[in-house]
With several copies, the nearest count.
Chain A
Amino acid sequence: MTVEPGIAPAAATANREPSSQPEEGLIQLLTPEGELIGHPDYPLDLTTDDIKDLYRDLVLVRRIDTEAIALQRQGELGIWASLLGQEAAQIGSGRALAPDDMVFPTYREHGVAWCRGIDPVKLLELYRGVSHGGWAPEEHKFSLYTIVIGAQTLHATGYAMGIQRDGRETSEAVIVYFGDGATSQGDVNEAFVWAPVFNAPVVFFCQNNQWAISEPMEKQSRVPLYQRARGFGFPGLRVDGNDVLACYAVTKKAMQAAREGQGPTLIEAYTYRMGAHTTTDDPTRYRLASELEMWKLRDPIERVRAYLARGGLAGPEFFAEVEAEAKQTGARVREACRTMADPPPLAMFDHVHAEPTAILRQEREQYAAYLESFEGPENGPANEEAAR
């Protein structure tokens, strides 16, 4: 590649139409048209009922997402990171996990959270600014959302080293989620160093949604991301991230391999961020509408619907039922969000340390006294105890 003097080579690729053709070798079980094609390495162990359940999951999480976007527009949430377009990657991988497997998400894994039984309202708490994440990770085997890009990949690797030390390798493994942009972070690559060196039972699940805010894939790598793993000494593979069945099968196999002591796998789920990066983002500044149109043809939900409908595996009443459930869930989430109370002011002093330090106790007391100096008791309770 020769380069014009004074112009960085990056410029040469900058105005390209992002390559949206999945590669040869991409693992796919269900085509965008809803045809079940199967794959020799990934025999499908799902019944029609299972697939209907997956369909239901996909529809429900999309509805929750739509609802959250609306809530943000109405001022009920500070921000929202939509999973639109990534439902299959999340539900497929999320449903492939065993109950004891541990999950480390980013800030966008609402579909995986759903699979782990986290009430969507809990996710909204975070985006509303009511908490930084309030669920019990061990209870759901679902760690807190991580916002600092890539940091959680090391936590996952360490957790997997803990499984080894507990002698639980044959029953538990870890999965960690991150994006295409995250693969540039030092932490993610350090996790790629550690996991094979310790042969840790961890699966790296990269949702390559083609964009890191405004930056296309080419700003992070000039080769497909799944190839990164091989150079660190562990296998990497690319799956159609809009194919819930393929995501399920590939994740299931990688988790099993991890449990069997075969160490880590990198899964690149090739998908697309159909919405804005978050509700504060404006993708029209940096990408073409045509790209989105093309990806709509590969919608992760439509293909499952087509498969179920075409083969007569599900009738209109099934789809209506799911739709009704989605509506209901949406309404519940909306209502819960709207009525969610702010935490009492003094709650901000809680849980900094196992026991509050003297200095912090003093700051709390002083602030309580200060608050009382303006507010009569009718202005509401200042601490959590009083609120109950």
Chain B
Amino acid sequence: MTKLTLSRGLNEGLRKALENDPKVLIMGEDVGKLGGVFRVTDGLQKDFGEARVIDTPLAESGIVGTAIGLALRGYRPVCEIQFDGFVFPAFDQIVSQLAKMRYRSRGQVSLPIVIRIPFGGGIGAVEHHSESPEALFAHTPGLRVVACSDAADAFTMIQQSVSSDDPVIFFEPKRRYWDKAEVDTAGGLAGALPFDRARVAVEGTDVTLLCYGPLVRTALEAAAAARADGRSIEVIDLRSLSPLDTGTITASVRKTGRCVVTHEAPVYAGLGAEIAARVTEQCFYHLEAPVLRVGGFSIPYPPSRLEDHYLPDLDRILDAVDRTFGW
């Protein structure tokens, strides 16, 4: 076990993937000498060469489009999108090509591509650098959408994503890049939790709190604070946003009878809506209160001096938890 930052966990995971399979490639803007703006690919070009760690022209559609071509040729590209807000120029290639090629070909074509996207706010950035577009990809059949929340999961989930034969949209909680956790870099993937499974991060009995990515830490803090007040929150890190691990979720809600889901993306038509609708349908007679959602407002991401008001925090989460008890 080593203590690594989340960024380093990804770096080590990518290194393993590059070592284990010569078909794995890294591509994106500034991923070479610079090592990416968050240093996730630090040192990889030096060690694996420019043919495998590719600094690309400044064009996201080009990154995903050529990655598709490389995958058709048998490669397994891992594309870095520099920031969440810059995935949109690649949206067409992702939604109409990447997601659909297997289906279009009746299973004759596989596109084992990972699109890494640092997402979310909380770093005091300018516009377009704090978006949470996961619901857009989750609504697109044919993609897998995952989000890691700590260094250990980052290390295993990135490797699992690279080995997946499905395209994976891999969200990285950018404000947690420098958070440290123990990582077993020597351990293999054999015993690891599959990347399409949710994880009960903290067990609890009174209410189920669903979260992913950057808000897992916030949720854990909320659970700790609530415990001090005598309320037992079960925190589930969803990890996989599409498909959703409904088994783990509904088992918890059937037990607790209450559910809050939180994400940074706007609540309106966000992923929390799907979770609330699905949980309600599957746990209708177990629910003591409606599933409540704590997320972004129906506004563009605000200037960073206001982001603390926009982002769900411990207080807003506990406020919603309280409301499920007062329903």
Contacts and interface: CB of A to CB of B under 8 A. Distances in A.
Interface string B45-85: 00001111011111101101111111111110000000001
Given A156-B69, A191-B65, 19 more contacts: A6-B51, A132-B103, A136-B108, A148-B88, A154-B66, A154-B93, A157-B66, A162-B70, A162-B73, A181-B58, A212-B29, A212-B58, A214-B33, A219-B55, A219-B57, A343-B305, A352-B300, A353-B142, A358-B245
Q: Which of A107, A158, A182, A351 has the most CB atoms of chain B within a 10 A radius of its CB?
A: A158
A135 B108 CA distance: 8
Given A348-B310, A352-B102, A353-B142, A158 B70 contact: yes
A132 B305 CA distance: 11
Interface stretch (A59-67, A111-119, A122-130, A306-314): A122-130
B30 A79 contact: no
Interface in A123-162: 126-137, 143-144, 146-149, 151, 153-162
Given A149-B58, A185-B89, A158 B73 contact: yes
Interface residues of A, number: 84
In the A-B complex, the 6 residue pairs with the closest CB atoms:
A158-B69, A154-B65, A162-B73, A129-B304, A158-B66, A214-B34
A348 B306 contact: yes
Contact of B72 (A143, A151, A212): A143
Interface of A: 6-8, 10-11, 14, 78-79, 107, 126-137, 143-144, 146-149, 151, 153-166, 181-182, 184-187, 190-191, 193-194, 197, 212-215, 219-220, 280-282, 285-286, 342-343, 345, 347-354, 357-360, 363-364, 367, 370, 374
Contacts of A137: 72, 105, 108-109
A132 B127 contact: yes
16 contacts: A10-B55, A129-B124, A129-B303, A132-B127, A146-B97, A151-B65, A158-B70, A161-B66, A165-B75, A184-B59, A214-B32, A286-B34, A342-B306, A348-B299, A354-B110, A357-B298
A197 B57 CA distance: 8
B137 to A, nearest CB: 14
A113 to B, nearest CB: 15
Given A191-B62, A352-B102, A286 B306 contact: no
Interface string B89-127: 100110011001111111111100000000000001111
Given A220-B57, A359-B268, A347 B306 contact: yes
Contacts of A184: 57-59, 62
Interface string B285-327: 0000000000001111011111101100001100100000000
Contacts of B141: 352
A327 B74 CA distance: 40
A357 B243 contact: yes
A185 B29 CA distance: 12
Nearest to A10: B50
Nearest to A190: B62
Nearest to B104: A132
A346 B254 CA distance: 32
B31 to A, nearest CB: 9
A130 to B, nearest CB: 5
B246 A358 contact: yes
Contacts of A7: 49-51
Nearest to B144: A353
A131 B61 contact: no
A358 B196 CA distance: 10
Interface in B276-290: none
A154 B246 CA distance: 37
B57 A359 contact: no
Interface string B199-241: 0000000000000000000000000000000000000000000
A287 B62 CA distance: 25
Contacts of B89: 148, 185-187
A134 B108 CA distance: 8
